[in-house]
Amino acid sequence: MTLFDPWIYKMAWRDSRGSRRQLVLFLSSMVVGVAALVAISSFGNNLREAVDQESKSLLGADLVLERDGAFPAKAEILIDSIGGVQSRRISFNSMAYFPATGDTRLATVRAIEGGYPFYGEVVTTPAAAAQHYLERSGALVDATLMTQYGVQLGDSVRIGRRGYAILGRLDKTPRENEIMSLFSPRVYIPRDGLDTLLLTEGSRAEYDVNFYFDDQRDVEALVDDIRPHLREHKIDSDTVEETREDWDESLTNLYRFLSIVAFMALLLGGIGVASAINIYVRKRKETIAVLRCVGAKATRTFAIYAVQAAVMGLAGGLIGAAIGVAIQAVVPFVLKELLPVGVSFAVSWPSVLLGIIIGLVVTVLFAMLPLVAIRKISPLLTLRSAIEAQSPMKDIAWWAVLGFIALGMLVFAVANAPEPLYGFGYSVGLGVVFVALLVVARGIMWLTRRFFPTSWAYVWRQGLANLFRPNNQTSTLMLSLGLGTFLIATLFGVQATLLSQIEVAGGEGRPNIVFFDIQPAEIEGVTNIVEAQGLPVVDRVPIVTMRLSEVNGRTIEELRADSTVDVRWVHRREYRSTYRNYLTESEEVVEGEFVGGVEEGAEVVPISVEEDIAGELNVGIGDTLVFDVQGRAVKTLVGSLRAVDWRRIATNFFVVFPDGVLEEAPQFFVLMSRTETTEEAATVQREIVRTYPSVSSIDLTLVLSTFDAIFGRISFIVRFMASFSIITGLIVLVGAVVVSRMERVRESVLLKTLGASRRQVMQIMITEYVFLGFFAAATGLMLSVFGAWALSYFLFETAFHPDVVAMLALLVVVPGLTVGIGMISSRGIYSRPPLESLRADV
């Protein structure tokens, strides 16, 4: 076979003389992509091993039983029969009040009894605080919360009507990461002495029982045996194996997403290779023609350059894999806020091998695009320089290679996506972006040639003409720079869209502070405090908890027993409904008629149901639902369907009853107000917490800043990965300038001979790079608008709001980088002597 012919390898080595620096430069573009892939893949493997090893620490126990509300007596008998060492925990949201500073903050309170966690540890400062806070009736407060309000060890925190001395700073706990603490900081207190007022009707508290078994029992089999009883009492269970699988799935999706972003860098490297080989082959046309004249077959000449490409890909894979292993040590630090466990450094040899193979395959495939033309180079080229080359689009081999590239991209995307459909959509979208950038590049070259501005100044005309000169790199730079711009701009667009929804929700005139868990006896007092502070009461809404018991005459138990019926979460959930005779600004009736009131004692009550929930329940206008309202059955009729804008901070509900039905039912209230400054918000929250400790509140401005911090951290992670694509794009830019250096030398010498000054030559180059950078940035930004819109509409189901500031910044930064790198790479061209333009080996 040709590939086993030693002559092929000798000629490949000899032919590379004089061009190895150029090949090494484009080799670096592959190195970056392979390094990113190996780093992320190795990190993913190490992460899975860490999760497998620490799965018990993630759960903190061998078995956890959870319930929304206290366990009933029959469930307690079941729990006692299980045996083992047990620990209890009650989790709920409540206002944490710090008397030393006067600050308040909604926090997640964990009331602990017993030795939880049995595995892993609660990390505190000082370390001993995790051991003695229960026996000393003290508290552990989240480090973020203490830093935010300047709280010190020894100060106190009040939860409800009970105060606790802060004995330690809470640094790390099982099942929670740093991102979670940003959104809802934690406070650990003893369960003994907990203010029972916090657990009254309407409060949302989760009760856990944690088990430790020292008899090596089969926990999975145990759960299977007691599952019917757990369902009867609405108890959920968590085992070590389930925890491991859940974390594996979520974290695998994280590193798969990062792998896809890294793969973009590899694709850009492939573009750089294709560009380098294309120019390389053009310079070797006469050599190839001579080989054909002395009897070398087309397959042998093709093999020479295929071997060069393969060696370049193999070298790029090896070097990239080595760098990727080094980068792997940085990735856990970048992602630490999202990780539940620490990830130790270890070389993942399967990932290293995979990176080398992918680097080799991508290099060879992209190199094949220009190399297939070698088979068509005629020996007549040695006699006539003007032999017309056949268009690659007329060669079936070229299309076959392109098909393999598309197939490889599709397979990789599908394999690394959470669902195949997402991977397919990703690959199609990326293909559309590639094609769009290429079409725009070709369109720019055609338009500048077709409608050339002859009236412009010479420098501008010459710089613009360079976009379609022979051996131009317009297409390559448009692809590399445009794709990098597209990635970054899309990220900024999605982030701005998500944050804008929260900002719109708390826009001018709308409530931005919410007080909830207000008991009927407290609502007037809370209202008086709000009004005494000079703040408006925007809304005051009663809430009644209930559960669905029948749908169209069939009980939930009957529906569960029917295998033909899909019983979903909407059948099992607890509904928090209200009653009123009006619609709010955030809702609109889309079908039926809204009824605001009924006569007392009505047998069937017309209700309004949110349209999506109605779809989940498979009910419509005229269907009947029976709700269990605190032990009393209330038969209802779906009288209207509502569309609800859940993005608005308002009292939105799945089910709205008319007046005249639920007034006497056990209920609690929500009150909404608006403050203009953070000082007003802090003052009114402080006054209400002092008077009514069980009342909780949410400050929307704080929620906004929290979301901004979360998105900022996630954005940093994605930008970290996107930087690989940007770096690769810059390498391709440098390589494109270096590869086209021969043409630039000839142009420079010719212009110099005709009397052009150094300044004019530099201005021409700057003009070309400005045009290239601007067109690439503008195209990438336009595509990012479409990409961010598609993600906002289809994935996040919200209106798109572009980040105009970021887009304008990129429109300046990308051309600036292009000009800077282009000028650095082109330095010294003007100083070349005119004799060089006459030499054949320039």
User: Three-state secondary structure along 793-810?
Assistant: HHHCCCCCCCCHHHHHHH
Considering the chain, what percentage of its residues have pLDDT values greater than 90?
19
Show the DSSP H helices in 208-348 as ranges.
219-232, 240-283, 285-293, 298-327, 331-334
Name the residue among 703, 261, 713, 686 with its Cα closest to residue 490.
261
Cα–Cα distance, 316 to 558 (Å, whole number): 64
Q: Given the DSSP bridges, would you call strands 537-551 and 605-610 parallel, antiparallel or unpaired?
A: unpaired
Span 743-797, pLDDT tens digits: 666 677 777 777 777 788 788 888 888 888 888 888 888 888 888 888 777 766 6
Cα–Cα distance, 431 to 122 (Å, whole number): 48
DSSP state of 840: T
**Cα distance between the two ends of the chain:** 36
Other C-beta atoms within 10 Å of 672: how many? 23
DSSP assignment of 388-430 equals PPPPGGG-HHHHHHHHHHHHHHHHHHHHTSSSHHHHHHHHHHH
Average pLDDT for residues 138-154, to the nearest whole number? 87
Residue 337 tokens, joined: 């806020």
Most confident of 160-174, 386-400, 463-477, 699-713: 160-174
Token pair 């994280």: residue: 254
CA quadruple 289, 293, 294, 298: dihedral, nearest 10: 60
Cα–Cα distance, 656 to 395 (Å, whole number): 67
pLDDT value for 190? 94
Residue 94 identity: S
pLDDT value for 529? 94
Query: Residue 546: pLDDT above 50?
Result: yes
Cα–Cα distance, 746 to 829 (Å, whole number): 9
Residue 378 identity: S
Contact 179, 711 (CB under 8 A): no
Residue 451 tokens, joined: 């409608």
pTM of the predicted model, to two decimals? 0.63
Q: With cut-offs at 50, 70 and 90, classify the pLDDT of residue 486.
A: confident
H-helix or E-strand spanning residue 172: strand 162-172
Q: What are phi and psi of 594, to 5 degrees?
A: -75, 130
Cα–Cα distance, 536 to 20 (Å, whole number): 75
Residue 477 identity: L
- Residues 6+ positions from 835 with CB-CB distance below 8 Å: none
Query: Residue 740: pLDDT above 80?
Result: no
Cα–Cα distance, 700 to 452 (Å, whole number): 56
Name the residue among 274, 292, 299 with its Cα closest to residue 4.
299
Cα–Cα distance, 291 to 772 (Å, whole number): 38
Other C-beta atoms within 10 Å of 183: how many? 12
Cα–Cα distance, 555 to 70 (Å, whole number): 24
Query: Residue 828: pLDDT above 70?
Result: no
Cα–Cα distance, 439 to 434 (Å, whole number): 9
Q: Which residue has the higher pLDDT, 99 or 703?
A: 99
Could you tell me the residue ranges of all domains in the chain?
1-57+252-412, 63-212, 452-508+703-842, 537-673
Cα–Cα distance, 239 to 242 (Å, whole number): 5
Query: Residue 742: pLDDT above 60?
Result: no
Name the residue among 359, 351, 334, 376 with its Cα closest to residue 263.
359
DSSP state of 609: E
Contact 304, 11 (CB under 8 A): yes
Name the residue among 206, 263, 175, 171 with its Cα closest to residue 70.
206
Query: Residue 842: pLDDT above 50?
Result: no
